[in-house]
């Protein structure tokens, strides 16, 4: 690997003769792709996407989302993969190695973002685990709205949050191949089969047409509202796990033979496909029982109130389908949480030269502690989601695009390694998008999400 000055780029310490194991690598190409799809597919796909789409323009939103994915999400994903694979380091070291000391703080922002997102993401995942166990043992609650109020915060929420972080840490402790990859290879196909199965079953329900209409009725007018663009772009980043180094870290375990451009297309395609299918599964079920009123003001309404009400009303079949749906949600959340923790853990391993076990225990423990706050207060959860899930992610992605577009040397070469000719021909377009198109778009999105966060904090009036 030769840098622009003809000097070899910094190699990870463990590869350069210092004590310690060599850097771990994925067992197979499929393992990497499934782990990356696992990171991307999570609560954001099955919870946020269908709701936002139905609420913000239906089919018109879907078209806008696909465009954003192609011209904004995919290029930033490629930027992360290029940095990760070329440096073979976790975010802080990777940015230091490819951009010099001044860029290391961006890596630190990534780590802080991953840390904060996991702290509240695991609280929501904890609710899901609890719903699944409840559904298995006693069935869906008669009054899901009241039940949600009971379990959303308090001792139970803390317990299930701790349980979820604990399981995540155990898998991360297992390592790249034996922990993360193995989990993804088992869990992702399970999730895809369950979701497709439910979507097909939902198509047989009376009222499915109204469900599709509610989800996809195109409303081009909605798209004229600039906040919808910001919402769509923010969702694309969250959903693809971009802007906090998850994809960068996973790419740092790649050997250099593969065509990462092709892999990026598969990851982005699967992420969108699963989000889209989740909507096809959810809305006919809600429509079959005319529960659109319960979808209410928030995404939480759709997931934790309207759906359980529908499953309960459908008797035995509803219960079985409901449990399967919750299993898919938990699986998606888990493989995403693993990638969030891996960013933090691998950074502690690289920066502090800690063993994987120690690093995972330390970072998992700290996240478990901080997560107690959102588990006790929905207000805190909301603020953390606005700050880390929107503002930090978009800011991180903006700086990353500027870095790879303007500062990093050799990024285009890195993406050409092992690549198909068609992708090599598209690389100048990629560079152009990173330099001139993505930064202004992200600046607008950043501005919008800062305003939304200030409103959520109560600093600004609506
Ligand atoms: N992409 C995940 C989802 O859609 C969430 C996530 C964000 C995971 C950032 C890792 C990093 O739920």
How does pLDDT run across 319-376, given as a tens digit for each residue?
999 999 999 999 999 999 999 999 999 999 999 999 999 999 999 999 999 999 999 9
Q: Is 10 part of any domain?
A: no
Residue 304 falls inside a structural domain = yes
Residues 6+ apart with CB under 8 A from 421: none
4, with CB counted inside 10 A (0-12, 13-18, 19+), is exposed
CA of 147 to the centre of ligand 1 (A): 26
* Ligand 1 centroid – CA 336 distance (Å): 5
Ligand 1 within 6 A of 392 CB?
Answer: no
Neighbours of 239 (CB within 10 A): 25
**Residue 8: helix, strand or coil by DSSP?**
strand
The rounded Å distance from CA 164 to ligand 1 centre is 15
Is the CB–ligand 1 distance for residue 343 below 6 Å? no
Q: Which structural domain, as residue segments, surrounds residue 387?
A: 30-456
Which residue owns the Cα nearest ligand 1 atom 10? 241
Rounded to the nearest whole angstrom, what is the distance from the C-alpha of residue 18 to the centroid of ligand 1? 34
Q: How many domains does the chain have?
A: 1
Cα–Cα distance list, 125 to 103, 119, 147, 323 (Å): 33, 10, 16, 15
**Structural domain contains residue 269:** yes
CA 93 – CA 84 distance, rounded (Å): 10
Residue 39 CB less than 6 A away from ligand 1 = yes
Q: What is the pLDDT of residue 455?
A: 84
162 belongs to a structural domain: yes
pLDDT of residue 402: 97
Q: Is the shortest distance between the CB of 241 and ligand 1 below 6 Å?
A: yes
Residue 20 within any structural domain of the chain: no
* Ligand 1 centroid – CA 124 distance (Å): 13
Cα 1 to ligand 1 centre (Å): 31
CATH number at residue 95: 1.10.4160
Q: Given this model, what pLDDT does residue 145 score? A: 81
Which residues of the chain, if any, have pLDDT below 50?
1-19
The span from the CA of 424 to the CA of 412, in Å, is 9
pTM for the structure as a whole: 0.92
Task: Return the structure tokens found at 417.
Answer: 């390694």
Q: Give the C-alpha separation, 188 to 270, whole Å.
A: 11
The pLDDT value recorded for residue 298 is 56
Instruction: Please give the pLDDT value at position 7.
Output: 43
DSSP code of 142?
Answer: S
**99 domain-assigned:** yes
Q: Is 284 in the pocket of ligand 1 (CB under 6 A)?
A: no
Residue 222 lies in a domain: yes
Site to substitute for ligand 1 among 122, 241, 244, most atoms within 8 A of C-beta: 241
Helix/strand number for the chain, H first, E second? 26, 0
Contacts 24+ apart (CB under 8 A), 442-447: 442/72, 442/233, 442/394, 442/397, 442/398, 442/401, 443/398, 444/226, 444/229, 444/230, 445/229, 445/230, 445/233, 445/234, 445/394, 446/391, 446/394, 446/395, 446/398
In this prediction, residue 249 carries a pLDDT of 98
3-state secondary structure (DSSP) of residue 2: strand
pLDDT at 313: 85
Residue 183 lies in a domain: yes
The Cα–Cα gap between 227 and 393 comes to 17
Atom of ligand 1 nearest to the CA of 40: 1
């Amino acid at each position: 690997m030769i840098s622009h000055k003809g000097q070899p780029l910094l190699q990870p310490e463990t590869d350069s003769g210092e004590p310690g194991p060599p850097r771990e690598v994925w067992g197979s190409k499929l393992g990497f792709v499934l782990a990356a799809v696992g990171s991307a597919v999570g609560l954001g796909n099955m919870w946020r996407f269908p709701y936002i789409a139905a609420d913000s323009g239906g089919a018109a939103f879907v078209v806008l989302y696909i465009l954003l994915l192609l011209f904004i999400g995919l290029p930033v994903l490629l930027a992360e993969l290029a940095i990760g694979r070329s440096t073979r380091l976790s975010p802080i070291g990777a940015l230091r190695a490819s951009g010099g000391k001044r860029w290391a703080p961006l890596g630190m922002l990534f780590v802080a973002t991953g840390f904060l997102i996991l702290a509240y993401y695991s609280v929501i995942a904890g609710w899901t685990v609890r719903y699944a166990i409840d559904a298995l043992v006693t069935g869906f609650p008669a009054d899901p709205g009241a039940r949600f109020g009971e379990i959303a915060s308090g001792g139970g929420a803390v317990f299930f949050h701790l349980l979820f972080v604990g399981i995540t840490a155990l898998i991360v402790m297992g390592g790249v191949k034996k922990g993360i990859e193995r989990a993804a290879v088992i869990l992702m196909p399970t999730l895809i089969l369950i979701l497709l199965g439910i979507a097909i079953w939902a198509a047989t329900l009376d009222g499915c047409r109204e469900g599709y209409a509610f989800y996809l009725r195109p409303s081009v007018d909605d798209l004229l509202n600039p906040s919808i663009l910001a919402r769509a772009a923010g969702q694309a980043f969250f959903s693809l796990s971009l802007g906090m180094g998850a994809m960068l870290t996973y790419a740092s375990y790649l050997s250099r033979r593969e065509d990462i451009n092709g892999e990026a297309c598969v990851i982005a395609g699967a992420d969108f496909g699963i989000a889209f299918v989740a909507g096809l599964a959810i809305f006919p079920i809600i429509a079959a029982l005319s529960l659109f009123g319960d979808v209410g003001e928030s995404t939480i309404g759709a997931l934790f109130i309207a759906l359980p009400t529908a499953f309960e009303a459908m008797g035995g079949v509803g219960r079985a389908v409901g449990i399967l749906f919750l299993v898919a949600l938990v699986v998606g959340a888990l493989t995403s949480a693993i990638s969030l923790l891996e960013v933090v853990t691998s950074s502690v391993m690289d920066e502090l030269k800690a063993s994987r076990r120690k690093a995972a225990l330390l970072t998992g423990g700290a996240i478990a502690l901080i997560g107690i706050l959102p588990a006790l207060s929905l207000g805190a959860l909301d603020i953390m989601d606005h700050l880390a899930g929107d503002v930090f992610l978009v800011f991180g992605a903006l700086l990353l695009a500027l870095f790879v577009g303007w500062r990093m040397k050799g990024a285009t070469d890195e993406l050409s390694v092992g690549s198909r000719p068609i992708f090599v021909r598209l690389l100048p377009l990629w560079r152009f998008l990173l330099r001139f198109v993505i930064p202004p778009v992200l600046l607008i999105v950043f501005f919008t999400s800062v305003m939304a966060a200030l409103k959520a904090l109560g600093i600004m009036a609506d």
